[in-house]
Amino acid sequence: MEVQSAINDTCCDLPSHVECDGPRFGPDMFGDRLAGIIAPFDQPDPTERMFLPPFLEQALSPLTDDLSDEQSVQFEVADIFRFYGEAYRACHNLTIEQLKVMDAIEKCRTAAYGFHADVCDTCGHTESAYCSCRNRHCPKCQGIAKHRWVNARVDELLPVDYQHATITLPGELSVLSLHNQKLIYDLLFDSASQTLLTFGHDEKWLGAQIGFYGLLHTWGQTLWAHVHLHLVVTAGGLTEDGKWVEPKYKGWFLFPVTALSKVFRGKFIQGLKKAYYADELILPDNMGIDNATAFEMWVDQLVARNWVVHSKPPFAGPEEVVRYIGRYTHRVAISNHRILSIEDGQILFTYKDNKEKDKDKLWKEMTLSADEFITRFLWHVLPKGYHRIRHYGFLNNGQKHANLALIREILGCLVPSTDSAEAAADNEEIGRACPKCENGHMRTFLVTDGFGQILKCDISVFQTHPTENYDDTS
Ligand SMILES: [Zn+2]
Ligand SMILES: [Zn+2]
C-alpha cells in the first residue's frame, strides 16, 4: 500500500514523459553560483564580479548533448529511475554497485554532474553541456569508451580472416548466475577460452596458438538473464617455431561446434562442481540444491540441456570486424531508443524476437511494470571492476605487442603507419570538430562540478585565438 502511494506520488503529475521531471535543471538554475564560476577570470575583487563576459553568457545558455552516439530519444532509463527509483529502493535490497549505477544514470547530464563549456579554437563558437556520468552501465555514456576501444583494436587487426562465435549458458543457470555473478562469469570465460585454446593447439585442427577476444553479455532482448560470450577469433594461429598457419577448413568455423560445445560443457560443469563442494556457491533458496544429492541430480539435468556454441559466417574483412566489435563491445542491457513509453508505472519497449521467422515481424513490443523493468536492468550491473572484455592466446595483454609484431613480420605486412589509438587520443586532446566552422576544434575551457565549483578553467584559448563573441578590449 505504502509502496503504491509512493509510486503514485512520484508519477501523479507526470504525463507520459520527461518534461516535468525535476533533476534536469535549465541553465538559469546555475543562478547565484555564477559569481563563483567566473571567479578565476581577470577581476581582482570577487564582490565586483557580477557580470558575465559575453562569450560565457552564450556558452552557458544552450545545453546540448554532444558526447554520445545516441540519437535523440524521447524516453530514457534515467526517466524510469527518476520516476520510480525511490519507491523501488524502498522495497528492494540493492548492492552498493547497483545503487551507484542508479544514481549515476539518474544524474547523468543534469546539473548534478556540473557542466563544461567549450570554445572553438578557430571561430570562437561556444557551447556548453552538462557533464556525463561515464558509468559503464549508463545508456548515454557508451560513445566515448567505445570509440577509444575500437580505435585501439583497429591497430591490432591482422590481414587474416576473423570469425565470430557465441557460447551461451543454458537458461537453467540464470538464477544461479544472478546470485554468483563473478564466479559464474569467470567460469564461463575460463571454460570457453581454455576450450578454444585447446582446440587451436590440437594438430588435428590447427596446431597453433590462436588469438581472440571474449565479450560478456548477460542479457537477452527482454532484459532477462541470458549469459553468453561473443568471441572474435583469428582464423589461423602462431606455431611455437614462429610460423603462421591457416585453418584446415577455410571458410568454415575453425573448429567443429558440436565438439567445442561438449568440451566447453565438461570444463564448465567440472568448475561448477568444484565451486559447490568448496562451498563457494551462493545457493538461492528456491533452487532446492542445498544437499549434494539434489545438486548432483540438478547437474545431471543441466548436462542434458542445450549448451549452445554457435558460429556465425566469417567476417568479410578487417573493416567488418571493426564494425562488429564496435556494435557489441560497449552495450548496455537496453538502449534508450527502444523505450517507447513510460506511463502509470508501465514501461513499453521494443525487442527483437530472434525466434520469429517472418523478418517483417522481428521487432515486437513488451510492457513490464516499472518494478520488474528496474529489477531486470539491475541484474546486469557487473561486480565492481569486473572486466567484461578479455583477450586471449597471442592477443593476451602481456605478450600482445610482441606477438603482433612477429606475426606481421611473418606475413610480410607493414606495421600500420598511423597508430589510430594514439591519433584518437590526440583527437580527444584537440577536441571534437567545431559544428559551426567545421575547421576548428572545440576546446574545453571551463568545467564545474555539481556544486558549481570550478574543476578546470583555462582561458588561454581566448588569448591565443580572438573570438567573435569576446571583445577583450572593452
Ligand atoms: Zn551517463
Ligand atoms: Zn569553429
Residues 269-326 pLDDT 10s = 999 999 999 999 999 888 888 899 999 999 999 988 878 888 877 777 777 777 777 7
Interval between CA 443 and ligand 2 midpoint (Å): 10
Q: Which ligand is nearest to the Cα of residue 104, counting in written order? A: 1
- The closest ligand to the CA of 437 turns out to be 2
Instruction: Map grid coordinates 508519477 to a residue.
Output: 11
Q: Specify the 3-state DSSP secondary structure of 322.
A: helix
> Could you tell me how far CA 443 lies from the centroid of its own chain?
26
Closest CA to 144 of 449, 432, 400: 432
Q: What angle do CA 218, 357, 253 make, to 5 degrees?
A: 60
Question: Would you list the DSSP string of 46-99?
Answer: GGG--S--HHHHHHHS-B---S-SPPP-S--HHHHHHHHHHHHHHHS---HHHH
62-97 pLDDT, tens digit each: 333 333 434 567 899 999 999 999 999 999 999 999
Instruction: Please tell me the number of the ligand nearest to residue 105's CA.
Output: 1
Query: Which H/E stretch holds residue 115?
Result: strand 115-120
Say how many Å lie between the CA of residue 34 and the centre of ligand 2. 25
**Are 380 and 98 contacting, i.e. CB atoms less than 8 angstroms apart?**
no
Give the ligand whose atoms come closest to the C-alpha of residue 134: 1
Which of 151-160, 241-250, 376-385, 413-422 is least confident?
413-422
Print burial letters for 379-405: b (CB count within 10 Å at least 16), e (below 16): bbbbeeeeebebbbbbbbeeeeeebbe
Q: Tell me, in angstroms, the distance from the centre of ligand 1 to residue 140's CA.
A: 5
- For residue 125, the CA-to-ligand 2 centroid distance in Å is 5
Q: Which ligand is nearest to the CA of 119?
A: 2
Residues pairing with 234 in the sheet: 162
Residues whose beta carbons lie less than 5 angstroms from ion ligand 2? 120, 122-123, 125, 434, 436-437, 440
Task: Kindly report the average pLDDT of the chain as a whole number.
Answer: 79
Identify the sign of the CA torsion 327, 331, 334, 337: negative
Q: Alpha-carbon distance 383 to 191, whole Å?
A: 20
Buried b (16+ CB within 10 A) or exposed e, 264-280: bbebbbebbeebbeeee
- What is the spatial distance between Cα 215 and Cα 150, in angstroms, rounded to a whole number? 13
Ligand number nearest CA of 467 is 2
Q: Please give the model's pTM, rounded to 2 decimal places.
A: 0.79
- Point out the ligand nearest to the CA of residue 120: 2
CA angle 213, 413, 163 (to 5 degrees): 30
Q: How confident is the model at residue 163 (pLDDT cuts 50, 70, 90)?
A: confident
